[in-house]
């Protein structure tokens, strides 16, 4: 990674969760996709950042650093309410800003380079689900944590992310929704599927669709035990519990809720994988596996 | 013989590596036609990679009817049982479905050609 250093400034826009907001994030990745870049992130044009943007920007900063560059966030250019929200998440603190973290409605920003299962389960059960926003039994909280773990397991097993896996969440009281975004900057789902099926021209959306089917895994049999049911379980879970699952990987896109499954080929490319899961904070939406079976049989 | 899963993996049975630990304990007796009880008392969180490692790969060279007869799951939650059922079905397909096997074998042979 030796070579000429280049300094660039990027202006982070307001980022919500519409498709064009993700395009804006992926454009930042494209703009900073090189070695030895000294990148300054300016927030003077940003009025709101969702948890998807927080996870993505954190990962992007680590990626830039892993490529011999540096990332500098100009936190002083943030509007106070946006900065407060980032402080709640512990985001500036992860990049050297000294402050006492406080919680509000945020779920902490988190980076995992290795699979620390007990810490991650504690995060999911205690800091994401367990803040009293979703009133579910411990049994059901365990089911939800196990199901969401499938996203992490998939990323650790297949993602090949040079900087690990980044998570950030948020509770939205207005909609009574709990969101969690998990992003890696690895090879992406389509790359794994194309390589496994030896189908280099397979469209990204078709590759994601293939990966979401039960029993489909990109792991060679010689690599050990079978796999491939985790994403299917996740899909089933959001359909039953009125949540949604959204995946961006390369130029492929997936959106699943209880009513529809949408796979799209998009124009904006991002090499890694970004997954967002949304849960409704209303216990009426939640069923234990045993209750689902009873309803299915009756 | 009885194996207490929580003693080996703690209360979160979710990773492939943990599943492998269990597999290494149960494969030899099952291979020798001995009954095994897997006791999940104290285990709270389950995910499919664990069961893929612990149970799914048994089917690679053991007859599933024999595994069903010899391997007993006790103190396992409904969610855990659901995962075991899925993993069993998936493993059967993985190790026996000619389409999947052909795709895997093709990928492996091409990988070998490129090395």
Number of folded domains in chain B? 1
Q: Is A164 left (phi over 0), alpha (psi -120 to 50) or beta?
A: left
Q: Tell whether the model's pLDDT for residue B98 goes beyond 90.
A: no
Q: Residue A281: what pLDDT?
A: 80
Q: Residue B109: what pLDDT?
A: 45
Strand-strand pairing, B12-13 and B36-39? unpaired
pLDDT grade for B111, boundaries at 50, 70 and 90 = very low
d(CA B71, CA A86): 50
Among B13, B51, B79, the residue to mutate for chain A (most A Cβ within 10 A): B79
Taking the CA atoms of chain B, what radius of gyration do you get in angstroms?
A: 15
d(CA B10, CA A168): 26
Q: Residue A106: what pLDDT?
A: 80
Q: Tell whether the model's pLDDT for residue B16 goes beyond 70.
A: yes
Q: Is the ipTM of this complex over 0.95?
A: no
In tens, the pLDDT along B55-66 reads 999 998 899 899
Q: Which of B49, B77, B103 sits opposite A153 (nearest CB)?
A: B49
Q: Residue A232: what pLDDT?
A: 85
d(CA A169, CA A148): 13
User: pLDDT > 70: what percent of chain B?
Assistant: 83
Q: Quote the domain boundaries for residue B37.
A: 2-113
Put simply, the answer to whether B78 touches A145 (Cβ < 8 Å) is no
Contact between A211 and A231 under an 8 Å Cβ cutoff? The reply is yes
Residue of B nearest to A195 (CA): B107
For residue A29 the two structure tokens come to: 């990745």
Q: Residue A20: what pLDDT?
A: 96
Chain B positions touching A139 (Cβ under 8 A) are 77, 79
Chain A positions touching B52 (Cβ under 8 A) are 225-227, 229
Arithmetic mean of pLDDT, B78-83 = 94
pLDDT grade for B113, boundaries at 50, 70 and 90 = very low
d(CA A230, CA B53): 13
Q: How far is B68 from chain A (nearest CA, A)?
A: 18
Residue of A nearest to B11 (CA): A118
pLDDT by 10s per residue, chain A, length 298: 567 889 999 999 999 999 999 999 999 999 999 999 999 999 999 999 999 999 999 999 999 999 999 999 999 999 999 999 999 999 999 999 988 766 677 889 999 999 999 999 999 999 888 887 877 888 888 999 999 999 999 999 888 899 999 999 998 888 888 999 999 999 999 998 898 888 889 999 999 998 887 666 665 555 566 666 888 888 888 988 889 999 999 999 999 999 999 999 999 999 999 999 999 887 677 666 666 666 655 5
Residue bearing tokens 């409904």: B78
For residue B100 the two structure tokens come to: 């999947």
Q: Tell whether the model's pLDDT for residue B4 goes beyond 80.
A: yes
Residue of B nearest to A151 (CA): B47
pLDDT grade for B92, boundaries at 50, 70 and 90 = confident
Distance, CA of B8 to chain centre: 15
Contact between B29 and B66 under an 8 Å Cβ cutoff? The reply is no
Q: Where is A17: in which H helix or E strand?
A: none
Put simply, the answer to whether B79 touches A146 (Cβ < 8 Å) is yes
Q: Tell whether the model's pLDDT for residue B102 goes beyond 80.
A: no
Kindly report the pTM of this predicted structure: 0.89
Q: Tell whether the model's pLDDT for residue B100 goes beyond 90.
A: no
Tell whether A157 lies on the interface with B, counting CB pairs under 8 A.
yes
Alpha-carbon separation of residue A219 from A72, A157, A200 (angstroms)? 38, 9, 17
Average per-residue pLDDT in chain B? 87
């Amino acid at each position: 990674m030796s070579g000429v250093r280049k300094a660039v400034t990027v202006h982070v826009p307001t980022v919500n969760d519409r498709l064009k907001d993700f395009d804006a994030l992926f454009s930042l990745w494209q703009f900073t996709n090189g070695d030895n870049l000294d990148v300054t992130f300016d927030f003077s044009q940003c009025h709101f950042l969702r948890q998807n943007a927080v996870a993505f920007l954190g990962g992007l900063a680590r990626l830039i650093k892993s490529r011999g560059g540096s990332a500098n966030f100009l936190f002083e250019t943030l509007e106070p309410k946006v900065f407060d929200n980032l402080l709640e998440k512990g985001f500036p603190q992860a990049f050297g800003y000294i402050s006492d973290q406080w919680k509000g409605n945020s779920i902490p920003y988190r980076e995992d380079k290795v699979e620390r299962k007990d810490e991650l389960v504690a995060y999911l059960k205690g800091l994401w689900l367990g803040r009293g926003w979703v009133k579910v039994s411990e049994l059901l909280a365990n089911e939800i944590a196990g199901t969401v773990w499938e996203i992490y397991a998939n990323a650790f097993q297949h993602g090949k992310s040079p900087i690990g896996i980044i998570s950030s969440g948020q509770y939205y009281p207005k909609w009574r929704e709990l969101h969690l975004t998990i992003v890696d900057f690895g090879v992406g789902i389509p790359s794994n599927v194309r390589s496994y099926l030896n189908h280099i021209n397979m469209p990204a959306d078709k590759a994601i669709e293939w990966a979401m089917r039960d029993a489909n895994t990109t792991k060679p049999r010689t690599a050990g035990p079978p796999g491939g049911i985790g994403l299917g379980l996740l899909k089933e879970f959001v359909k039953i519990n009125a949540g949604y699952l959204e995946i961006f990987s390369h130029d492929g896109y997936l959106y699943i809720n209880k009513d529809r499954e949408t796979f799209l080929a998009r124009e904006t490319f991002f090499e890694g994988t970004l997954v967002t899961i949304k849960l409704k904070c209303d216990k009426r939406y939640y069923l234990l596996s045993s209750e689902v079976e009873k309803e299915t049989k009756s | 013989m009885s194996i207490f899963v929580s003693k080996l993996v703690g209360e979160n049975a979710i990773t492939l590596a943990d599943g492998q630990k269990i597999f290494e304990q149960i494969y030899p007796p099952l291979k020798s036609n001995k009954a095994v009880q897997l006791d999940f008392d104290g285990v709270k969180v389950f995910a499919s990679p664990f069961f893929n490692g612990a149970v799914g790969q048994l089917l690679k060279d053991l007859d599933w009817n024999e595994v069903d007869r010899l391997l007993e799951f006790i103190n396992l939650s409904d969610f855990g049982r659901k995962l075991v059922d899925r993993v069993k079905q998936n493993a059967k397909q993985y190790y026996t479905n000619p389409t999947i096997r052909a795709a895997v074998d093709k990928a492996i042979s091409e990988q070998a050609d490129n090395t």
